[in-house]
Amino acid sequence: MNRPENLSVYDELDLKLGIKSSLPHVKGTIALAILLWECADRPDELIYSQQNGDSIVLTDELNQWLVDALSEICEEEQIGFEALMAGINENQLFKSQMEALIVAFELVWKLAKVSFVEDGKVASAERTGGTRYPKKLLYTVNADIIHSLIDSNYDAYIRVLLSWIGFNINVDPECEQHMLHLLTALSEEAVFKLTDGNRDVIFNQDSVYTKLLETEDVVDINGDSEAKGSLRVLKSLLSDGMNPYLSYSRGNVSVAREKRSSLEAYQKRVDMFLRLSATKVIGLEGIDAEDEGFSLENYEENRISTGCNVLLYGVPGSGKSWTIEHEYCKPESVVERLVFHPDYTYSDFIGQILPTVAEDGQVSYKFTPGPFTNILREAYNNPGKEYILIIEEINRGNAPAIFGEVFQLLDRKVEIRDIDDDGYPIGTSEYGITNMNIAEEMYGKDRRTEKVRIPSNLSIIGTMNTSDQNVFTLDTAFQRRWDMRLIENNFANVDPTLADAEILDTTVTWRNFCVEINKIVVGNSARMTSAEDKRLGAYFVHLRDLKFNEAMGDLKVYDALRKKESKGNLTDDEKTQIAIIRDAIRQNRKFPEKVIKYLWDDAFKFNREVIFEVTEYQSLEQVIRAFMYAQGLDRFKVFKDNVKDAFTGEDEE
């Protein structure tokens, strides 16, 4: 038995809300596209232009068709053939860039798809330079709807179209109004964007109607920044008087004269049309589609399988974040990054019910998704794109509590079963959970009772410093759901610019200092808890922390200037000098404040005598002061001789 196939699923349209192409005289452009279709006997596809130097003009075939179809009207209105062709070839259908035509024809009126005649040429090919390339129009059923109107009084409506194109022709005003109303109705699904302060407002014409009827005041569609994309077309069509319900002047929209009552009824019809247009098909879960059609199975077949849970751990500065950026994130990956901390909660991560206040002051409560739910939704709805959620410092928050029941989703499917496979790709959550709030965000209100799963194109990557104190522990049940990866603490892959940089004005490189100190840390394991975790990471400092500002000079000079400053005796030159010295001090203190402080306060907190000269320096303040007031290798005299000699190499002399 011959029966129809399942519903087809189509790619989502790029609304091109951010492009800058504009389309002036849009009424004449739409009119010419309709006129050419009518004169060419209404084909599904129409190659309407051919190359003429850097420009395009009407094809020879269409030239003849127009002459044949319009001869009587042109003769009656005394329009010569050359004038007809000249006026048509000056139309924006030939002059405008491809992207502007796409916005008008595909996104505003859905009248036709615009393509280059030459296959493989991208839509942006006309952005730079003045060259235009031959194009074609692939018409939609909206052209048939327009034809139904034209066919009711063919001669009168062709005259309207010619008038809109720019020819001086008398038209029937009633027919012109009918055409305007029809084109307005066809444009009601179009979406526009303007900037309002720090936020983007995505709206349609119904939004404008509603605001006009509510406030009885003009509506500004200029926004606070340059108009782009379909908003430019909206301003153009309003300037051309193409919406019979609205008046327009310099970005301000108002209700057209004597149109308020008819607009009220029309707005209700538009609202109902948009509601019905947004209808979803319920019951697709049971469809057994094969090669074509829309089903949940097909949707998952197109999903990439990159999803994994990875937990990178190691000492501070070992390069965990560097590894994520260089080994896990690709240029096309969509990355969301967040940090766990002791006050971070399940509600922060997943979402929570919060009050919202409507414009009329009514308070309601709705689920506000957190970062996990947001990226879950985006990953589910974009199966061909890789998404990565990065959780820095995952053990600084109570991770099992923050994940809550989502903890169950971390078990990933690892193989396709020969029998009773669930149809989901590898990398999807092996088990689903019931969470109606998350389900509604992911699947929509009609599917809020479905099980939630992490899709196979979403990865979760966490980092944790093994040496951190006062943090939460990750239990075995939590850790086993992650691929654990220790980031080795060595200089094998560290940029030599950092590794071989000298510390301030010493001749000691960061590599030598770090390696020798870490040997002492590990060798001190008998007197230090988790000694291996107390090592300095290769990325513990940045290159800027090692740079020396020689303007600091001898700090005894600074001390003398400070005494004069306290007495108010500084000259203008001395004020400048002390300011320069303080800038240099701030730079030169970065290394001791970051590295030496860590060694004193953390790594060797309970046995400082192992590396520091504690008989001479009993406090961190004394250590840093001695380091700052010394010069060159003498800065390291705060360390015991054997330690200092290890990274300065003095014991080899």
DSSP state of 639: B
The pLDDT value recorded for residue 485 is 87
Say yes or no: 429 and 573 in one domain: no
Say yes or no: 243 and 375 in one domain: no
Does 423 reside within a domain?
Answer: yes
pLDDT tens-digit map of 168-180 = 999 999 999 999 9
Q: Which of 463, 486, 509 is the last residue of a domain?
A: 486
Does 407 reside within a domain?
Answer: yes
Say yes or no: 178 and 224 in one domain: no
Range list of H helices, 40-153: 60-77, 81-89, 92-95, 98-102, 141-152
Say yes or no: 343 and 436 in one domain: yes
Does 72 reside within a domain?
Answer: yes
> Which domain does 254 fall in, by range?
188-279
The pLDDT value recorded for residue 468 is 55
- Domain with 432 in it: what CATH number? 3.40.50.300
Average pLDDT, the chain: 86
The pLDDT value recorded for residue 105 is 94
Angle at 54 between CA 53 and CA 57, to 5 degrees: 70
Residue 174 phi/psi, 5° resolution? -70, -40
Whether 250 has a pLDDT exceeding 80, the answer reads yes
Confidence of residue 492 (pLDDT cuts 50, 70, 90): confident
The pLDDT value recorded for residue 302 is 74
The pLDDT value recorded for residue 295 is 46
| CA separation for the pair 610, 603 (Å, rounded) | 11
Say yes or no: 274 and 339 in one domain: no
Say yes or no: 237 and 219 in one domain: yes
pLDDT tens-digit map of 10-41 = 656 667 776 777 888 999 999 999 999 999 99
| Of 527, 372, 520, the residue nearest 459 (C-alpha) | 372
The pLDDT value recorded for residue 160 is 96
The pLDDT value recorded for residue 218 is 93
Does 347 reside within a domain?
Answer: yes
| CA separation for the pair 433, 438 (Å, rounded) | 10
Does 8 reside within a domain?
Answer: no
Q: What does the pLDDT average to over 493-519? A: 88
pLDDT tens-digit map of 268-315 = 999 999 988 875 554 444 434 333 334 454 566 778 888 899 998 887
The pLDDT value recorded for residue 294 is 40
pLDDT above 90 covers a percentage of the chain that reads 44
Structure tokens at 551: 């303007």
Q: β-pairing, 309-314 with 458-465?
A: parallel
The pLDDT value recorded for residue 287 is 39
Tell me which of 647 and 271 has the higher pLDDT.
271
Does 98 reside within a domain?
Answer: yes
The pLDDT value recorded for residue 152 is 95
Confidence of residue 47 (pLDDT cuts 50, 70, 90): very high
Say yes or no: 545 and 625 in one domain: yes
Q: What does the pLDDT average to over 248-256? A: 93
Does 6 reside within a domain?
Answer: no
Residue 634 phi/psi, 5° resolution? -65, -20
The pLDDT value recorded for residue 235 is 93
pLDDT tens-digit map of 365-389 = 888 899 999 999 999 988 888 999 9
Does 321 reside within a domain?
Answer: yes
The pLDDT value recorded for residue 9 is 58
Question: What region, left, alpha or beta, does residue 42 occupy, with left being phi > 0 and alpha being psi -120 to 50 degrees?
Answer: left
Q: Which of 279, 312, 346 is the last residue of a domain?
A: 279
Say yes or no: 251 and 148 in one domain: no
CA atoms within 13 A on the CB side of 297: 13
Say yes or no: 49 and 81 in one domain: yes
Say yes or no: 463 and 516 in one domain: no
Say yes or no: 568 and 618 in one domain: yes
The pLDDT value recorded for residue 289 is 36
Q: Which of 423, 452, 486 is the last residue of a domain?
A: 486
The pLDDT value recorded for residue 288 is 40
The pLDDT value recorded for residue 383 is 87
Number of domains in the chain: 4
The pTM (predicted TM-score) of the whole model is: 0.49
Say yes or no: 129 and 77 in one domain: yes
Confidence of residue 526 (pLDDT cuts 50, 70, 90): very low
Confidence of residue 530 (pLDDT cuts 50, 70, 90): low
* DSSP assignments along 467-525, one per residue: T-SS-PPPPHHHHTTSEEEE---SSTTS-HHHHT-B-TTSS-BHHHHHHHHHHHHHHTG
Structure tokens at 76: 């009656």
